[in-house]
Amino acid sequence: MKKLHIKQLIEKIEGEAELDFTFNDGLIEDVKINFGFYRGIEEILRGKDARDALVITPRVCGICNHAHLLTAVRAIEDGYTNAGMPVTLSSKANDIREFTLACELIQNHVKWLYMTILPQLEKYVQLESGENYAIKATYLSSIITKALAIFSGQWPHSSYAVPGGVTCDPTYLDVMQAQSLVDESIKFFEQVMVGLDLENYLEIESVSSLHKIEGDFGTLLHLMGNANMAEIGQSHDRFIVFGNCILSKPGKSIVTNVSNVDTKYVKESEQVGTVSKAVMYKDRLYEVGPLARGMVAKTPIVKNLHKRYKDSLLTRVFARIHEVAQLLDYSKKLLNNLELDEPSCTLDLHTQLGDFEGTGVVEAARGSLIHTTTVKEGRIVNYEIITPTQWNLSHGTKGQQGIAIEAMVGAKTIEEATFIFRTFDVCSVCTTQ
């Protein structure tokens, strides 16, 4: 059969992308991913004051802006430490940063579930449920971002994190308001998303217990099972995590074996036909994101799903939604243990260094986010941002196809392939920063 090439503009992601499919004998043989827009954030930062990164980098993305802020401030703090001025955060400042980041991840995962995956799955299986998923997404994401904004001052594009801590000094009333909003979010998760108490949901560890999940998540699993989608979308089965957070410690997982990682082995490379760059670790491709975090952390339910279905569409989707439960539980504990009597910031406002190099890493919603800054005489001479989507959407090399491309190869239709593509929670905005 003659090879067939079809180009498709992909929306219903963060930004948009163009996929160029090559069919051979009725199956997808290759995919080229093209991001056509470029904004040059790294170039804009050159020559700016070192702290300007705290205001500019959150503008990279409207969904993960907080992750960029925290990565930028960690890069500066790492630079100060490398230059001989160690930065130590109070537990209060650290817990506030952890809480606000958790809120951002929750709202991202929820929007992805209700604005992308569920509507696209219904379209794929030709089902019209009549559900207003946009209302559900807006309801929960607005509640959890209100909790975030109590500490950050606003969302998106807050700049409350500064070297040495945070600028906010919350009161007990602020914490009580945040607790109420988190409780409301948990109630929505329990009653609408899974039909289970949070505690009972988190006790699920075996694949045989998935039938207990009801609500919209249960509907999603049911539809995917009926459409025989449990085993499609497998990729290279290699995972990597660089951030240190409640969801996972840094590490890479290959055939369930977890080992250490170091950001010095991360390398970017140019890609033909797109303005995005590819990223590899020691010349190998790795998947980042919730599935990677679950595999490196050996989260029981993720590990057991992987044992049966490998790095499939089902395992990938489940891992992302499962993080909502983990993060809600974690957020509640953070607020309950917040030490308000501690200082918000351990550095004086005027404490600055003129020359340093630092790297900041944060586990953003889509995976490991890395910022590297080089500062001379107080000015940024080089700033590099490596986003999660760069890892997952690389074109690959001669010997290995990119993570998402490998997952799409073998699909029978464009509809099947683009659904697999969206399970990576694609962000072209960050990728073309």
pLDDT at 347: 92
pLDDT at 2: 63
Q: Mean pLDDT in the chain?
A: 92
Between CA 218 and CA 195 the distance in angstroms is 8
pLDDT at 433: 62
pLDDT at 399: 80
* pLDDT tens sequence across 360-415: 999 999 999 999 999 999 999 999 999 998 899 888 887 889 999 999 999 999 99
> Could you tell me if 119 and 387 are in contact, meaning their C-beta atoms sit under 8 angstroms apart?
no
Nearest to 116, CA basis, from 233, 223, 13, 227: 13
* pLDDT tens sequence across 158-215: 889 999 999 999 999 999 999 999 999 999 999 999 999 999 999 999 999 999 999 9
Pick the range with the lowest mean pLDDT from 32-36, 75-79, 245-249, 341-345.
Answer: 32-36
pLDDT (average), residues 18-38: 86
* pLDDT tens sequence across 340-356: 999 999 998 778 899 99
pLDDT (average), residues 287-310: 97
Domains for the chain: give ranges and CATH numbers. 4-431 (1.10.645.10)
Nearest to 363, CA basis, from 285, 311, 297: 297
pLDDT (average), residues 299-307: 97
> Could you tell me if 326 and 247 are in contact, meaning their C-beta atoms sit under 8 angstroms apart?
yes
pLDDT at 13: 65
User: Is the pLDDT confidence value at 137 over 70?
Assistant: yes
* pLDDT tens sequence across 275-295: 678 899 999 999 999 999 999
> Could you tell me if 11 and 26 are in contact, meaning their C-beta atoms sit under 8 angstroms apart?
no
Long-range Cβ contacts of 218-221 (<8 Å, 24+ apart): 218/194, 219/118, 219/129, 220/113, 220/117, 220/118, 220/121, 220/317, 220/321, 221/314, 221/318
pLDDT (average), residues 1-22: 73
Q: 156 preceded by cis ω (within 30°)?
A: yes
What is the pTM assigned to this prediction? 0.94
User: Is the pLDDT confidence value at 432 over 90?
Assistant: no
Going by pLDDT thresholds of 50, 70 and 90, the confidence category of residue 239 is very high
User: Is the pLDDT confidence value at 253 over 80?
Assistant: yes
Length of the chain (residues): 433
